[in-house]
Chains A and B, each alone.
Chain A
Amino acid sequence: MATQTTAPRSDLSKQDAIVVRFAGDSGDGMQLTGGQFTLSTALAGNDLATFPDFPAEIRAPQGTLFGVSAFQINFGSREVNTAGDAPDVLVAMNPAALKVNLGALKPGGLVIVDTGEFTKRNLDKAKYAVSPLEDDTLAPFDVLELDISALTIEAVKPFGLGNKDALRCKNMWTLGLALWMFDRPRGPLKDWLNAKFAKKPDIAAANIAALDAGHAYGETAELAGPLRQVHLDPVLSEPGLYRTITGAEAVSLGLVAGARLLRLPMFFGGYPITPASAILHHLARLKEFNVTTFQAEDEIAAICAAIGASYAGSLGVTSSSGPGIALKGEAMGLAIMTELPLVIVNSQRGGPSTGLPTKTEQSDLYQAVYGRNGDAPMPVIAACSPSDAFECAIEACKIAVDYMTPVMLLTDGYIANASEPWKVPDPDAFERAPAQFLEAKNGPDDTLLPFKRDAKGARPWIKPGTPGLMHRIGGIEKQVDTGHIDYAPDNHQAMTDARKNKIGQIAVPDQEVCLGETSGTLAVVGWGSTYGPIHQAVSRARAKGLSVSHIHVRHIWPLPANLGELLDQFDHVLMPEMNTGQFKTVIRDQFLIDATPLTKTSGQPFAIAEMEAAIVKYFDGEAGNEGGEVPVNDGQLPSPVGE
């Protein structure tokens, strides 16, 4: 069954990192397969990064190009920061998956196809006139043709499942083969299957049988075919306890931790939206941590209820993605005006409007920093990876309460869905600072001053129900200190200044250089999920002896006080962003620095190679060719196939 082509094959055993992509129909369970493979990779001690890529449709018509779902993982015996540029191994469960993903595969890479799905009907749906297995489409690659469908049906026969249920075990057969290929134990996966199907032991047993059959197939095929077992040594990580974590999990856990460190109950108001809903789902299961979740009637109600909860003494949190954040804009202004704590999580996606719901982009930075009516300053923090999102969420909670302000935490679709190993932190390592509520009148002559500011510029937090402290707040301009309605010109000037200064003075740590020197020829300045590709590209450029440093900004607003001075120490500043250059505008405006944008808006993360090519242009002696727009790279990661 296994055939070997004459193409030069990659020798995976000589690589210190390997990229594998599982691709299939959205009903084939590819995300689950990828997730379990990720777990086994983590348990094996390899470093890893993943990129799940799935269609917006829940069940796109079977076998179609737009119904293809893929999961890419990059794992290695060294540090891994990105999901990898081009896969070394592609598993294609049907013709459509092959068609969409083949362009990405490294020449000489291995493609494993389920021939059982290469029927006339499926080939038509994938718009293949001739089967790619029968012409020279696959000539540049090493090909393993397996009738996974038939092998799976055979393996699960003893369990008497119907054809449809039997075929649903295909992904476990494939996973079994992958586990054999990379020398991974099956034990944890079997435990997981037994737990998942505790109430359906037959299904658990069938899945395990498929898994074992896939694994056994590898052992047998190694003798004759192109398949070889590869072993990657564990990465030498810092000692400690590890788990894998996605950005959505990290945000949820960070919010829980943040609220507990402040000794506050958390109120989370949300409305379903991709890719932000995962946070609502996680928190809905954590009621014992004094968390109340509320699925509101719309995005506006979600934030307004959170504001009401903050007013009543809880830590109000809301979460959404671009279009939902736009709807919340007016309410953010209310929280700014009434100076109530609030955390707003924005899991960015491609825009404008509905845009690309399941693809990633960083195009909400303007919206985060500037997107409200009036002079409405608000702190903005951006997480750079799934695990970083945990600390960012804790910091967002703390700033919100310390400064009595809404805070926006930016992640994106990539961070929300991607997973990586995470060294489990010790919650005691974070500062515990219980929130303070005003208990008695704070003005002269037994008066209450709800807008009297402390040294940080923050007003007191006053819980309704506190005797003697009755007062009124609202969105209308308020008098300095008393909070009474006041439209007077000098008062509005004073309150506008007070709100601006309060946010401007937030204690943001000085910006550090995360790779390289504090001065030199080129600083590559990023924020958010571009961390991985920038870090790898700068690392490679530095290995070539180029004077490049990587600076990654977490505090988008207010900016670190030393950032302008730091960037002045470099001849050039390159700013890669998955938008048309939004942070670049902020940096130029705030520091009058000639920052050059490097932009990409294809819904795909940057590839390391693209970033590296952009860096090299600063050193190629050819002036004026730096920066610009990175063209769409069909081969890099699955792009949405438009119909």
Chain B
Amino acid sequence: MNAPTKIETTLKDWETDQEVRWCPGCGDYAILKAVQRTLPQLGCDPANTVFVSGIGCSSRFPYYIESYGFHTIHGRAPAVATGVKLANPDLDVWLVTGDGDGLSIGGNHMMHVLRRNVNMQIMLFNNEIYGLTKGQYSPTSRIGTSSPSTPAGSIDSPANPCAFALGAGARFVARGFDVSKNLPDVLKAAHAHQGAAFIEIFQNCIVYNKDVFNDFAAPKGADDRQLWLEHGEPMLFAGGAKGLAIDMETLDLKVVDVVDGDWEAAGVLRHNVTNRTIAHMLVELTFGPFPMPLGVIYDDPAPVFEQAVTAENRRLSEGKEPNLAALLAKGQTWTVEA
């Protein structure tokens, strides 16, 4: 987001000469294309862009983007990216992680990069499975997920990435999915946000967790199951026949029918991306009784960490001469005469 000047590029400029090594049909291909399509539209400069990733299928991403890239170690990408931003706040940093990398082994770092509000785009590819290690269940796998490490089905409760992000103090939380045509718009909103922008991207693992998101991501009936949020617009789905409203008795969200397009009469909420309370409700909705909320759920900027650090460093340096000789001779000294 800090690119000082906009640069003219095409999708081709963001492709590397490296052979892409994801499984044929993997959702990662679609996300890669969406990113490569979005970067030119944002006017990003490849020389000023850094993709940082951890370990896992998703974390191979930097090798396929013609920019600076750092494929780090498992779970630690947020920490490495924080160092990059503190050393050079002008770099435009994108972080690529997965559900295992970002919420299991790297859950601690994810919490802190969000809490500190380091200015970067964090794309968490959620496929609800460990792909690269051959199919073990992950911290986002649903209860009952059968995998090599849970042959009788997993029994632990899954983590909810967007609820985690909000709980950690994120000031931008959005959702999309791999083949969604709306994904570039979500990425653009994340890029426009100053601070840590968390994007959960549902991603289809064709080999180990095939079509696990089909219940809402499949094109057929999508309109009934997807709620695309837009700031200032009513929370409508099912072709405008249904919407979300506040249940005044439970102080929670409820689905209401909209008659003759009169959503106001039905009490349907207008989406306000700065409303943190509603954001909490949206990320906690149970899919099934409710549609899947997608798009920008929350966007309310707060002071950015690296800018605060830079300002503090400047403030503490003001009027102080960086004189090394004087520093070494600081404190009480004595002289031994020749």
Contact = CB atoms under 8 A, between A and B. Distances in A.
Answer whether A and B are interacting partners. yes
B282 interface: no
A306 B70 contact: no
Interface in B83-97: 83-88, 90-91
A309 B86 contact: yes
A451 B317 CA distance: 37
A426 B324 CA distance: 9
A312 B84 contact: yes
A549 B68 CA distance: 54
B87 A485 contact: no
B336 A242 contact: yes
Interface residues of B, number: 58
B63 interface: yes
B184 interface: no
Interface string A451-486: 000000000000111111111111110000000110
A244 B81 CA distance: 39
B73 A334 contact: yes
A301 B72 contact: no
A288 B316 contact: yes
B47 A469 contact: yes
Nearest to A290: B322
A374 interface: no
A306 to B, nearest CB: 6
Nearest to B16: A472
Contact of A472 (B63, B84, B87, B111): B63
Contacts of B270: none
Nearest to A474: B71
Nearest to B333: A243
Interface string B311-335: 0110011001110110111111111
Contact of B71 (A42, A43, A239, A473): A473
Nearest to A312: B87
Given A269-B83, A472-B63, A242 B335 contact: yes
B112 interface: yes
B48 interface: yes
Interface string A309-339: 1111110100000000000001101100010
Interface in B45-81: 46-48, 50, 52, 55, 62-63, 66-73, 76, 78-81
A43 B332 CA distance: 8
Contact of B335 (A241, A289, A471, A484): A241
A473 B69 contact: yes
B126 interface: no
Given A43-B334, A289-B324, A300-B76, A471 B69 contact: yes
Given A301-B112, A313-B87, A473-B71, A308 B327 contact: no
B73 A45 contact: no
A313 B335 CA distance: 40
B309 to A, nearest CB: 7
A465 B329 contact: no
Interface of A is mostly: mixed
A222 interface: no
Given A296-B79, A309-B86, A464 B313 contact: no
Nearest to A254: B328
Nearest to A188: B332
A468 B47 CA distance: 6
A311 B70 contact: yes
Contact of B324 (A304, A427, A469): A427
Contact of B338 (A239, A302, A426, A472): A239
B108 interface: yes
Interface string A126-160: 00000000000000000000000000000000000
Nearest to B81: A308
A478 B203 CA distance: 28
Nearest to A267: B87
**Most interface-central of A308, A316, A467, A475 (chain B CB within 10 A):** A308
A474 B70 contact: yes
B253 to A, nearest CB: 33
Interface string B79-121: 1111111111011000000000000000011011000000000
B194 to A, nearest CB: 19
A427 B333 CA distance: 17
B337 interface: yes
Contacts of A45: 334, 336
A465 B47 contact: yes
A338 B69 CA distance: 12
A500 B88 CA distance: 31
A285 to B, nearest CB: 8
Nearest to B59: A474
B18 interface: yes
B117 to A, nearest CB: 14
A287 B52 contact: no
Nearest to A43: B334
Contacts of B87: 265, 267, 292, 308-314
Given A316-B83, A475-B73, A464 B50 contact: yes
A237 B336 contact: yes
A71 to B, nearest CB: 18
Identify the interface centre among A300, A304, A331, A428: most chain B CB within 10 Å of its CB: A304
A288 B62 CA distance: 35
Interface string A247-263: 00000010011001000
Q: Nearest 10 pairs between A and B by C-beta?
A: A308-B83, A474-B71, A305-B83, A304-B79, A472-B69, A312-B87, A301-B79, A464-B68, A308-B80, A288-B317
Interface of A: 39, 42-43, 45, 188, 192, 234, 237-244, 253, 256-257, 260, 265, 267, 269, 286-290, 292, 294, 296-298, 300-302, 304-314, 316, 330-331, 333-334, 338, 424-428, 463-476, 484-485
Given A241-B329, A308-B81, 6 more contacts: A257-B328, A305-B82, A305-B83, A308-B83, A466-B47, A472-B16
